[in-house]
Amino acid sequence: MQAVTFTQGQIHVLNMVSHIKTEKTLELLKEQLSKFYAALVDAEMDELWESGKWNEQKLKDLRSKHLRTPYR
């Protein structure tokens, strides 16, 4: 079995999570993590929009695409 090496960030998160004692606290953490990642996505989309890499036409084009994997 290969040893797993954690980054400093992963170690920090594991240390923080070790203090969770209730389901309510876990739900609060999940909510905050969701907000954190949503803010990152919003910032990235704003950057793409401002740089011109994403625009209204690309959004319209995406609406008409069928991107689901066909089931066989």
Predicted confidence (pLDDT) per residue in 21-33, tens digit: 999 999 999 999 9
Alpha carbons 43 and 32: distance in angstroms, whole number: 17
**Is residue 15 in some structural domain?**
no
pLDDT of residue 10: 95
Q: Which domain holds residue 38?
A: 23-66
What total of structural domains would you count in the chain?
1
> Which residue type does 63 have?
R
Q: Is residue 2 part of a domain?
A: no
pLDDT digits (tens, 9 = 90+) for 8-57: 999 999 999 999 999 999 999 999 999 999 999 999 999 999 999 999 99
Domain membership flag for residue 4: no
In a domain, 5, yes or no: no
pTM of this prediction? 0.67
What is the model's pLDDT at position 66? Answer: 84
Tell how far CA 5 is from the center of its chain.
22
In a domain, 35, yes or no: yes
